[in-house]
Amino acid sequence: MTDTPQLGPVPERVAVDAAQVRLLVADQFPRWAGLPVEPVADGGWDNWTFHLGPEMSVRLPSAAPYALAVEKEHRWLPVLAAGLPLPIPVPLAMGEPGAGYPYPWSVYRWVDGEPARADRITDPVRFADDLAGFLVALRGVDPSDGPRPGLHNWFRGGTLKTYDGLARRALAALDRHVDVGLAREIWAGALDAPWDGVERWFHGDVAQGNLLLDGGELAAVIDFGTCGVGDPACDLAVAWTLLTAQGRRAFRGRLCVDAASWARGRGWALWKTLTACARTVDGADDPDAFRVLDEIFSEYADGTPPSGPLPVPGSTARA
């Protein structure tokens, strides 16, 4: 028997349209009933997001597990916002099920900015340093009574062993497509890397869609649905998925990340990237997945100490 939590199947999502949102707002918050409601382009997977007038947004969980984060965000985002150097979403009201929609939902103050992409970032090193500074501040918020890893955030902040089954299935699917031997080595090292047990706040999904730019600079951080208190190594995955090599060094230096935490952060990046690569092999459209995998492999090979395993020569990702 094991006490490692296991992930369930992918939840079934419910569809939501603008007309339904208008009904919810009119019924529960009549002071906003006259405001226009429009869907947000690329509004995310966990939530359906809509503009509510020019200064607010409505976020509605797309499935039951994602709805577990609603009360958490209303409880904790105001606390976090007070100690952070960049804007984050501020909850204004929490709605109830209605109009055929089955879950609690939220009204937020709108946060301006465009999603971060490598080609939109003006100075990659400054961006990495600013992001690290934000995470330093987040980790500095008092973790007392904060939400521990669980179903509400897909066990972010907990043990990587939760994702071992997913990683192994992806590796089996990728045999003869990538260097699975090197991937298994990196994954095993991440699983074995110890955590000091000091609980800290983490965001849980530091990804380009949740990092907003203004004029090419980091301007805001959004979507705290996976936030919690525990091992913050999950927030390091962005070092391989978005940052440049120089930015990655600046990011690690500003956060003062030790070798074990870095290995766990690499593991968080690896399992998700392997899963994306496996979907690509099966016909899904994710052209960035193999680039990220190559970034993980290359950084690992470059950072392997002389006494460790020898790096794989040549192109590292595809076999």
Residue 136 and residue 157 in one domain: yes
Residue 10 lies in a domain: no
- The pLDDT, as a whole number, for residue 290 is 95
User: Vertex 125, ends 120 and 128: CA angle to 5°?
Assistant: 80
What are the structure tokens assigned to 123, written together? Answer: 């100075």
Rounded average pLDDT over 64-77? 97
Q: Per mean pLDDT, which range of 63-77, 162-176, 280-294 is the poorest?
A: 280-294
Same domain, residue pair 88 and 138? no
The answer on pLDDT for 266 being more than 60 is: yes
Dihedral of alpha carbons 51, 55, 60, 65, sign: positive
Count of domains for the chain: 2
Tokens standing for 237? Answer: 């995955």
Residue 164 lies in a domain: yes
Residues 151 and 265 in one domain: yes
Name the domain boundary from 110, 126, 143: 110
294 and 256: one domain?
yes
- Same structural domain, 295 and 191: yes
Which of 110, 143, 162 is the C-terminal boundary of a domain?
A: 110
Question: What pLDDT shows up at residue 317?
Answer: 52
CATH number at residue 100: 3.30.200.20
> What would the DSSP string read from start to end of 18-49?
HHHHHHHHHHH-GGGTTS-EEEPTT--SSEEE
Residue 309 lies in a domain: no
Mean pLDDT of 285-303: 92
Residue 158 within a domain: yes
Higher pLDDT, 315 or 64: 64
Residue whose C-alpha is closest to residue 289's, from 270, 304, 302, 268:
270
pLDDT reported for residue 41:
87
Classify 289 as helix, strand or coil: helix
Pair (153, 236) in one structural domain: yes
Instruction: Say whether both 128 and 86 belong to one domain.
Output: no
Neighbouring C-beta atoms of residue 138, cutoff 10 Å: 24
Decide: helix, strand or coil at residue 160. Answer: helix
pLDDT of 307 higher than 90: no
Q: Which residue has the higher pLDDT, 43 or 142?
A: 142
pTM exceeds cut of 0.75: yes
DSSP sequence for 72-129: HHHHHHHHHHTT-SS----EEEEE-SBTTB-S-EEEEE----EE--GGG-S-HHHHHH
In this structure, the answer to whether residues 213 and 73 fall within a common structural domain is: no
Residues 188 and 202 in one domain: yes
Q: Which of 93-97, 265-269, 312-316 has the lowest mean pLDDT?
A: 312-316
Q: What domain range includes position 34?
A: 18-110
Query: For the chain, what percent of residues have pLDDT higher than 90?
Result: 87
**What does the pLDDT look like over 222-256, one tens digit per residue?**
999 999 999 999 999 999 999 999 999 999 999 99
Amino acid at 60: L
Q: With b meaning 16 or more CB within 10 Å and e meaning fewer, what string describes 178-203?
A: bbbebbebbbebbbebebeeebbbbb
More confident residue, 3 or 188: 188
Over the stretch 161-192, which tens digit does the pLDDT of each residue have? Answer: 999 999 999 999 999 999 999 999 999 999 99
Looking at the structure, tell me whether residues 105 and 154 fall in a common domain: no
Say if 288 falls within a structural domain: yes
What CATH number corresponds to the domain at position 154? 3.90.1200.10
Contact in structure between 246 and 124 (CB atoms under 8 Å) = yes
Compare 93 and 43 and report the one with higher pLDDT: 93
Tens digits of residue pLDDT in 179-228: 999 999 999 999 999 999 999 999 999 999 999 999 999 999 999 999 99
Instruction: Answer yes or no: is 314 within a domain.
Output: no
In tens, the pLDDT along 111-137 reads 999 999 999 999 999 999 999 999 999
For residues 274 and 162, membership in a common domain is answered with yes
In angstroms, rounded to a whole number, what is the distance separating the alpha carbons of residues 305 and 28?
60
Q: Which of 316, 314, 311, 310 shows the shortest CA–CA distance to 293? A: 316
Q: Which residues pair with 211 in a beta bridge?
A: 221
The span from the first CA to the last CA of the chain, in angstroms, equals 36
CA atoms in the 13 A half-sphere facing the CB of 102:
10
CA distance 288 to 295: 11
Within-domain flag for 9: no
* Same domain (yes/no): 53, 144: no
Asked whether the predicted pLDDT for residue 9 surpasses 90, the reply is: no
- 274 within some domain: yes
